[in-house]
Amino acid sequence: MSVGWTGVRSWLLLLPLLAVMTLIIGWPLIETVRISFTDARLVGGESHWVGLANFSKVLASPQFHQVLWTTILFVLISVTAEVVLGVLAALLLDQQFVGRSFLRALMILPWALPTVVNATMWRLIYNPDFGAFNALLTQTGLIADYRSWLGETQTALYAVCLADVWKNFPLVALIALAALQSVPRELKAAAIIDGAGPLARFRTVTLPYLAGPLTVAIVLRMIEAFKVFDIIWVMTRGGPANSTRTVSIFVYQEAFSFQHAGTGASAALMVVLISAVLISTYVTMLRRQSEIR
């Protein structure tokens, strides 16, 4: 009886929050779904039911294929680099040395920076006339002339990826560092006594503790990277020659620049769908991890 009442009371207490969440998250989502089946425009005019026409139009569009591929490339390059750098940084910061706490605090800075600030900063670093990146590479003799890193199709996407990696690898590093601290000291000591080298120790002792949290970090970063908009919009606006145009920029241009709210919404829903797959992977992993514990 009392359990029943607790259940009812919990729901009652949750009700205001649920109502607010339905309003803030549910309603726009339902509206987006509704609009995606119509030929609605952003401003003015009536909208009509068009069934799945928007979805088939988007799926058949070579432009959508191109932006999808660019997005996947962006996700693969950025997340891989972030994970490798993040783990290396975490391993380093897990060692005992003077100034460790200071470095740990310092490392959070890039991650705490607003994306727009980070993007503007990297635009300046890449500036073809006075950018620090060009200065560094010419002064060390790696390139002969200043280059337009964001103005060339061959380099623009990688340049944006680097800016994204710089901002986001600290998140991976933080998660990895937390995991590293849960590795029992006795285990490490035992491995050393048994004569295991650094690589063998990393593989057999550290990695099993790192794997779970790291997968979570990877999935989180993938979801974020898949939706990327702001850093690209500020740095290149999708250029040069659409070489950095991602799915979110496609959605934005469809819905807002071209006022095709219908096709924009349907493309947005496809992004949601892909994100949902990633999120469900994330949740499954979280659950599996807690089961292990």
Partner 1 sequence: MLGKTRTLLLSAAVLSGALMGSSGGHAETALNALFMSQAAYSEDDVRAMTADFMKEHPDIKVNLEFVPYEGLRDKTLLAQGAGSGFDVVLFDVIWPAEFAQNKVLRDVTDRVTPDMNKGVLPGAWTTVEYSGKRYGMPWILDTKYLFYNTEMLSKAGFSAPPKTWTELQEQAKAIKQKGIVEYPIVWSWAQAEAAICDYTTLVAANQGQFFDSSGKPAFQKGGGLEALTYMLNTEVEGLSNPHSREYLEEDVRRVFSSGQAAFALNWTYMYNLANDPKESQVAGKVGVAPAPGVEGKTEASAVNGSMGLGITTTSKHPDEAWTYITYMTSKPVQEKYARLSLPIWAASYTEPSVTKGQEPLVAAAQKSLGLMFPRPTTPKYQELSTALQQAIQSTLQKSESPEQALQSAAQSAGGL
Residues found near partner 1 in the complex (CB under 8 A): 41-45, 128-129, 148, 150-153, 236-242, 253, 256-259
Nearer to partner 1, 212 or 240 (CB): 240
User: Of 71 and 243, which CB lies nearer to partner 1 in the complex structure?
Assistant: 243
What minimum distance in Å lies between the beta carbon of 130 and partner 1?
9
Neighbouring CB atoms inside 10 A of 205's CB total 18
Q: How far is the CB of 225 from partner 1 (least distance, A)?
A: 22
Nearer to partner 1, 55 or 233 (CB): 233
Are the C-beta atoms of residues 165 and 81 closer than 8 Å to each other? yes
Contact 66, 245 (CB under 8 A): yes
Question: What six digits make up the tokens of 35?
Answer: 């609009």
Nearest residue (CB) to partner 1, 87 versus 157:
157
CB contact at 8 A, 203 and 80: no
Q: Minimal distance in Å, beta carbon 258 to partner 1? A: 5
Count of Cβ atoms closer than 10 Å to residue 4 Cβ: 8
DSSP track, 126-162: T-TTT-HHHHHHHHTTS-SS---TTTSTTTHHHHHHH
Report the nearest approach of partner 1 to the CB of residue 16 (Å): 23
Q: Which is nearer to partner 1, 257 or 280 (CB)?
A: 257
Q: What is the CA radius of gyration of the chain?
A: 24
Do 246 and 74 contact (CB within 8 A), yes or no? yes
- The CB density around residue 122, as the number of other CB atoms within 10 Å, is 24
Nearer to partner 1, 61 or 281 (CB): 61
Kindly state the smallest distance separating residue 38's Cβ from partner 1, in Å.
15
Q: Is 250:66 a contact under the CB 8 Å cutoff?
A: no
Tell me how far, at minimum, the Cβ of 120 lies from partner 1, in Å.
12
Residue nearer to partner 1 on the CB measure, 150 or 175:
150
Minimum Å gap between C-beta 151 and partner 1 is 3
* Residues with Cβ within 8 Å of residue 150, at least 6 apart in sequence: 123, 126, 156, 159, 160, 235, 236, 240
Amino acid, res. 150: L
> For residues 40 and 175, which CB has a smaller minimum distance to partner 1 in the complex?
40
Q: Which two tokens stand for residue 278?
A: 């990633």
Closest distance to partner 1 from the beta carbon of 57 (Å): 12
